[in-house]
Amino acid sequence: MTITVEIPTPLRRFTGDAAAVAVEGTTVGAALAALVERHPSLGRHLYSDEGKLRSFVNVFLNDRDVRHLQAGETPLSDGDTVSIIPSIAGGSPPSGAPTAGATVLGETAEQADLLGRLAELPQLDAGELRRYSRHLIMPEVGTRGQRRLKASRVLMIGTGGLGSPLGLYLAAAGVGKLGLVDFDVVDESNLHRQVLFGESDVGRPKIEAAAERLHGVNPLIELVPHDLRLDSSNALELFADYDLIVDGTDNFPTRYLVNDACVLTGKPNVYGSIFRFEGQVSVFWGQRGPCYRCLFPEPPPPGLVPSCAEGGVLGVLPGIIGALQANEVIKLLIGEGEPLIGRLLLFDALRLRFRELQLQKDPHCPVCSEHPTQTELIDYDQFCGLDDGPDLNAEGWEIEVEELRQRLDAGEDVSLLDVRTPQEWEIARLDGARLIPLHELPDRLGEVDTAERLVVLCHYGPRSLRATQMLREMGYQAVNLRGGLDAWSERIDPSVPRY
């Protein structure tokens, strides 16, 4: 029988860019095996060396997680759709609680009163009545809903791509207290999607520019900038002052940190993630449904899933996903509608398709299950394997751009290996370099000679560092160019375009 396997964006490069592949198979395991037979390089992304499905990859049959069916043995019917759902730092997860397929579907936001702490809601003044009149005349919001928004305290983690629409709509809607967490500075390359910021903000702290802009949108609300890097030492205390947390981050350590801190403080986590032209949205709330860890117990190994800085992101995508998050936030705050608890919404901008998967609470979830094995925050960099990299202080792992310049000027025999994408190569490159994109490197090692003294480079350095590690493990002489092409443009040769 013919089965459609939906391929997520990060893995499409292994299927010749196909978004869906038709295969034959009578079970989920057989269908995936047929897929890997056709596209062998997918194999190592789906299976561990022991042949087990990797823990950061979820497989759904139609809208159900096969772990809660018969896993690989789950039988298929003609026309079924099997979806591979990996975690993306731009974000995503699995979960499980109510074991019925319906999970928490049908539970209304009203049942989850986030403002139970208040004996009384604040009144609206004349200016607020005018400003929010289009809300007030809707029965679903009304004066009561608007007063609830005014009483609400929302913490936004990140003021970037997702944070821009989130901040704009939550401020405009009249969320009484809006906390902003960021430590980054506005960069020119942010402007194609981070619509909170303009040309004149380049170089400013995001938190400062964001607070200013949002104050301009709605001066009636309280904006609380938290100029800090969220970590295990400050998250619980910070979250305690808010009713709801919105995850607009772009990296795995912060995602797991936000999830765990939300579970430990009992707060809902309105989650969104983006990558290239694909987005995910859910509401993770350990007390009422699955959490992020129920979906993705472990992060992918560093480097396997590219970040938006490496893989790119369609500028409008965070606008769509962030607006969907804002919608969930407002519903939860006013207590109306069906929140996205126990459901993962997938959006494919390229094909303009929404899909919804059902999530279940994992009865063995280390943080949100009845008998959690983790009851406090941990070191999330370590959890995500970011501490396992090479000791860069050790002799010979990296060189600075100035040293490369000297070696080239001295006529040393240096081979420049660029591991960026062909699209980036089109934008800018170093004279004399050759291109082997990182994901093609394992299959193209034959083009590199062990006698060559390789200097490996990418845009900023992380991808070439992974390539350097891989090459060294295979016996090649390789060093990483610290700071990559960007550092070269900045410090050595400004005629090489920066992007």
Catalytic amino acids? 308, 458
User: Which of 255/293 has CB closer to Zn ion?
Assistant: 293
Least gap, CB of 369 to Zn ion (angstroms): 6
Strand bridging mode 244-247 / 153-157: parallel
The count of chain residues that interact with Zn ion, using the rule CB under 5 A, is 5
Query: At residue 452, what are phi and psi to the nearest 5 degrees?
Result: -70, 145
Least gap, CB of 262 to Zn ion (angstroms): 10
Rounded-to-integer distance, Cα 68 and Cα 87, Å: 18
User: Which of 93/322 has CB closer to Zn ion?
Assistant: 93
Q: Is 294 in the site for Zn ion (CB under 5 A)?
A: yes
Residue 140: partners with Cβ closer than 8 Å, 6 or more residues away: 334, 336, 337
Binder to Zn ion among 82, 291, 317, 467 (CB under 5 A)? 291
Residue 25's CB is within 10 A of a number of other CB atoms, namely 20
Least gap, CB of 362 to Zn ion (angstroms): 6
Rounded-to-integer distance, Cα 305 and Cα 105, Å: 31
Least gap, CB of 155 to Zn ion (angstroms): 20
User: Which of 84/291 has CB closer to Zn ion?
Assistant: 291
Q: In what order do the strands lie in the sheet with 398-399?
A: 398-399, 477-481, 453-457, 415-418, 434-435
DSSP, residue by residue, 397-438: SEE-HHHHHHHHHTT---EEEE-S-HHHHHH---TT-EE--G
What angle, rounded to 10 degrees, do the helices at 163-173 and 206-217 form?
30
Its sign, for the CA torsion 311, 314, 318, 321, is: negative
Residue 147: partners with Cβ closer than 8 Å, 6 or more residues away: 121, 122, 123, 124
Rounded-to-integer distance, Cα 291 and Cα 488, Å: 43
Rounded-to-integer distance, Cα 344 and Cα 86, Å: 12
- The whole-angstrom distance between residue 63's C-alpha and the CA centroid of its chain comes to 21
Query: At residue 250, what are phi and psi to the nearest 5 degrees?
Result: -135, 20
Least gap, CB of 6 to Zn ion (angstroms): 24
Residue 75's CB is within 10 A of a number of other CB atoms, namely 14
Least gap, CB of 493 to Zn ion (angstroms): 50
Least gap, CB of 367 to Zn ion (angstroms): 6
Binder to Zn ion among 293, 343, 463, 482 (CB under 5 A)? 293
Question: Which residue, 334, 356, 349, 372, is CA-closest to 151?
Answer: 334
User: Which of 98/312 has CB closer to Zn ion?
Assistant: 98
User: Which of 206/293 has CB closer to Zn ion?
Assistant: 293
Query: At residue 324, what are phi and psi to the nearest 5 degrees?
Result: -65, -40
Q: Is 313 in the site for Zn ion (CB under 5 A)?
A: no
Q: Is 481 in the site for Zn ion (CB under 5 A)?
A: no
Residues 336-395 that bind Zn ion (CB under 5 A): 365, 368
Least gap, CB of 57 to Zn ion (angstroms): 17
Angle at 377 between CA 371 and CA 380, to 5 degrees: 120
Which residues on neighbouring strands pair with residue 20, listed in sequence order? 6
Q: What is the contact surface with Zn ion in residues (CB under 5 A)?
A: 291, 293-294, 365, 368
